[in-house]
Structure 1
């Protein structure tokens, strides 16, 4: 299964979590990564396919598992070529490629931006299944040409079947499948709204996941597939459901980008001199009538030098706060990322993704006019998301 992603609309937010693979080299200048889950799948396929060819071709155990490993190598090559189909097509339209990662159920191509038009989105999406279909056709021709009941013939048959199945399954019209991205492109062209198209294609993906799961249970009851096969299909279904849900969530978040307004979200500052006891600083803040005030530290000239870390401040026992200087739970102003007033909502979100932090100083020229908490942005983008207790205490 493929899950090509672009750099905007939330992809950067996922990148560090998803990029758990090890770099294994470059193909045509594109970095290739292999996830640990792919190693697990390779071992499982080697074992299962080795047992299959040992019984079908009457091979000794060690040789059968060598054949099984050879099939895995060919399968990985097919997945890589599928992803290169996406990557090279994206390159043709001047979309940068950050890398290709091979993982448990296939792979994904990371692009540095979204397709600029529905047409480009559709072409990039369908390039991968087209490569798989061509590989399936070549493997079918090889199977027909090779003698029956031979190792090469069996590998050609399995590669033909797997590539054709991958091509057919991937063009099903629901995210995160390639066909779902093509559906999104069509809906985008119709509604002129990429986010609405993404959300609808995500719901289509959930319908496909549900239907696939029900079909798998039906085949299992008929005895067509084994319990192991059912479990594998359910793993695919779970992955599809999660990917579709993430697409829906990201579309809803992206639609709310214009609501991210630094003028509205920046919390006011209450500055106290360096050396002020934490308890006294918190007392002053509690008496400040402005909502959501953030404590800051200034030097003798009145210049802002640090911001109080709310988490570190909460960790100080209440009875110790009169004796702990506010400086000890503050972070240097220079270590806090800055966001200038005037950024659009999308620019703010991109900046937060590029420089993750708990809080940011909001500036107007040389002056610091407030502090942006990343939790406040999350509340705008996902208003139904529950707030964390620490943030509640700081309000």
Structure 2
């Protein structure tokens, strides 16, 4: 189970809504259905062989076990959510999978202490559930359905609690490690990168252990494949954490004054070819084509992708407005926004171009690809080095998306 507070991301909810708990929207991931069916069948076959049940009762028991597992996952995530709320952090949603889940929060923890408390709340709930289930398993006969379900829930919850406190992102223990490194380094972003690399080391060590267990015939092929899939998820989550830590550390470098491209406005009705000629003759670098009305007020921006799709021999006959987007359809970003505020605005209103304004005046255009080049300079080619007279399509998102 992993808990990710995605204060720097704004993404559509994963899965389908299934209800609310304590006022928090709960979603179920679509992949959960496949896993739920698989576990129902596997546990149903186990109930046939060990408890002597016959279909369909054995598979109903398997389905009941799946429901109990989902309840355990939900309570784990509610542990994170309740502690987060107590410290003034809003919870957007909880998303459930069969053996994992995550809690999306509206902002990051304000201090290392709060980050650690929120992170460890989930494993603590799982450990408590494991203890309760262990007590029930000891009291109930082992050859009965309630006794077997109690035993399996005890094992699964204790394993979840132990696995989740391992020190590496995206696990809860990794968040606790980040909190400790945050307190030590006084830099949350650097702490996130450190905890992300710890997660990758943890994933590699897990691979070594499970392969050794398989060679010793302690682990079955099914168990090996299952654990390796979990390790793959852990590796990917750790990589996303490293990337996010590096990106958020570069937020202060996002300066609208420096990134805003200058504008050259042409009158409505100007042929596209003529507009591009004027743009090419403008001595300023990275000039963006725009359309202005008779009063000189900017009314639209030329869409560079649409403009490049027009054949060269037709550009003298195509009006510039036909490949433009209305100013009303574009998001405006006022000068003075911090780097984090700019990124949040881009996430909330996805697009390729944004108007940069000072009061009522448009002073430039921000392209999302330019922001991406700042956030990930080694992986995103800088769009500032373009051929004069041509518009380069922008990348739609500076984020991962994780």
Q: TM-score, normalised by structure 1?
A: 0.96
C-alpha distance in 1 between matches for 2:96 and 2:35: 11
Q: What aligned pairs does 1:75-86 form with structure 2 within 5 A after superposition?
A: 75-86=69-80
Matching of residue 62 in structure 1 with residue 56 in structure 2: yes
> CA contact under 8 A between 2:92 and 2:106: conserved in structure 1?
yes
1:312-353 residue CA offsets vs partner (Å, 9 max, x unmatched) = 111111121111100000011111100111111111111111
**Structure 1 247/259 Cα, relative in aligned 2: closer, same or farther at 3 Å?**
same
Report the counterpart of residue 48 of structure 1 in structure 2. 42
SS in 2 for 1:94: coil
Q: Shift of the alpha carbon at 1:365?
A: 1.1
> CA contact under 8 A between 1:375 and 1:391: conserved in structure 2?
no
1:235-283 residue CA offsets vs partner (Å, 9 max, x unmatched) = 1111101110111101101111111001100000011111111111111
Q: Shift of the alpha carbon at 1:389?
A: 8.8
Q: What aligned pairs does 1:293-312 form with structure 2 within 5 A after superposition?
A: 293-312=287-306
Report the counterpart of residue 315 of structure 1 in structure 2. 309
1:217-247 residue CA offsets vs partner (Å, 9 max, x unmatched) = 1111111111111111111111101110111
Matching of residue 122 in structure 1 with residue 119 in structure 2: no
> CA contact under 8 A between 1:105 and 1:236: conserved in structure 2?
no
Report the counterpart of residue 344 of structure 2 in structure 1. 350
> CA contact under 8 A between 2:206 and 2:231: conserved in structure 1?
yes
Q: Shift of the alpha carbon at 1:64?
A: 0.9
Matching of residue 288 in structure 1 with residue 290 in structure 2: no
Match of 1:329 among 314, 323, 334: 323
Matching of residue 113 in structure 1 with residue 113 in structure 2: no
C-alpha distance in 2 between matches for 1:57 and 1:139: 19
SS in 1 for 2:56: helix
SS in 1 for 2:20: strand
C-alpha distance in 1 between matches for 2:124 and 2:81: 13
Report the counterpart of residue 172 of structure 1 in structure 2. 166
> CA contact under 8 A between 1:266 and 1:371: conserved in structure 2?
yes
SS in 1 for 2:380: coil
**Structure 1 104/310 Cα, relative in aligned 2: closer, same or farther at 3 Å?**
farther
Higher deviation after alignment, 384-393 or 348-357: 384-393
> CA contact under 8 A between 2:166 and 2:173: conserved in structure 1?
yes
C-alpha distance in 2 between matches for 1:105 and 1:60: 26
Report the counterpart of residue 391 of structure 2 in structure 1. 394
C-alpha distance in 1 between matches for 2:4 and 2:331: 30
Report the counterpart of residue 7 of structure 1 in structure 2. 7
Matching of residue 161 in structure 1 with residue 158 in structure 2: no
Q: Shift of the alpha carbon at 1:388?
A: 9.1
Report the counterpart of residue 98 of structure 1 in structure 2. 92
**Structure 1 117/388 Cα, relative in aligned 2: closer, same or farther at 3 Å?**
closer
Which consecutive segments of 4 or more residues in structure 1 shift more than 6 A?
A: 388-391
Q: TM-score, normalised by structure 2?
A: 0.94
Report the counterpart of residue 269 of structure 1 in structure 2. 263
Higher deviation after alignment, 377-386 or 172-181: 377-386
Q: Name stretches of at least 5 consecutive residues in structure 1 with no aligned partner.
A: none
Q: Shift of the alpha carbon at 1:390?
A: 12
Q: Shift of the alpha carbon at 1:104?
A: 5.1
Q: Shift of the alpha carbon at 1:63?
A: 1.1
1:286-314 residue CA offsets vs partner (Å, 9 max, x unmatched) = 11111111000011111111000111111
C-alpha distance in 2 between matches for 1:185 and 1:20: 27
1:170-209 residue CA offsets vs partner (Å, 9 max, x unmatched) = 0000000000000000111111110111100000000011
Higher deviation after alignment, 223-232 or 120-129: 223-232
C-alpha distance in 1 between matches for 2:5 and 2:233: 15
Higher deviation after alignment, 47-56 or 262-271: 47-56
Q: Name stretches of at least 5 consecutive residues in structure 2 with no aligned partner.
A: 393-402
CA RMSD of aligned residues (A): 1.5
Report the counterpart of residue 134 of structure 2 in structure 1. 140
